[in-house]
Structure 1
Amino acid sequence: MTYGENGHQLRSELTTLLRQHRIQQRLGGPGIHTVPESTTAEQRALLGEQIQRFRYATLAWCLHAVVAANPRLNLERTTERSRRPAEELRYRLAQSIKASNAGLPPLHELTTPREFPMVESWRQVARAAVLGEHDFGGLMDHGRLTPAQSSTVLRDAAEVARALVVLDKRYENIPGWIPIRERGRLDRAAQTAGVFAGYDEPDYSVDHKGWRPPPATIDGGPLPGIGGVLQAEHNMLVHLASFPNALNLRRVMDGQRILSHEAARRAPNVAPDLIEKWLDREQTYKKLIDETRDVGGPVGSGGSAAAEAANAVGRLRHVHVDEITTPEPLRDLDKLFIRTDARVAAIIEQGVADRLYFISVKVPRIIDSSGELVSPVRERYVPIATPINTELLAIARNELRPAPVVAAFSAGAHESRQQLLESLDHRPDRTRGPGR
Structure 2
Amino acid sequence: MEQLKKWIEDSLKGEYEYEAYIESTEKLLVETSRESLENISKSKEVGLGIRVLKNFKQGFAYTTDLSWTAVSNCVKRAVESLELTPEDDGFVLNKGEFKGQLQADYDQEGLSLSVEDKAELLINLERLAKDLDRRIVGTRKTSLKEFKVDVRCFNSHGLEYSYTTTYFSCLTSALAVENGEEAISYEYRSGRYLKDIDLEEMARDVAFKATAQLGAVSYETKVIPVVFFRESAVSLLEAFSPMFLGDALVKNKTLLKGKEGQAIASPLLTVIDDGTLKGGVGTLELDAEGIPSKKNIVIEKGIFKGFLHSVYTAVKCNAKPTGNSVRHGYKSLPTSGIRNLYIERGTHTLEDLLRAYDEVFLILDLMGLHTVDPISGDFSLGASGIIYKSGKKEKAVKGVVIGGNIQELLKNLVGIGEDLRMYGHVGSPSLLVEAITVGG
TM-score band w.r.t. shorter chain: under 0.3
- TM-score, normalised via structure 1 length: 0.22
- TM-score, normalised via structure 2 length: 0.22
Greater relative contact order (Cα < 8 A, sep 6+): 1
Which structure's CA Rg is the greater one? 1
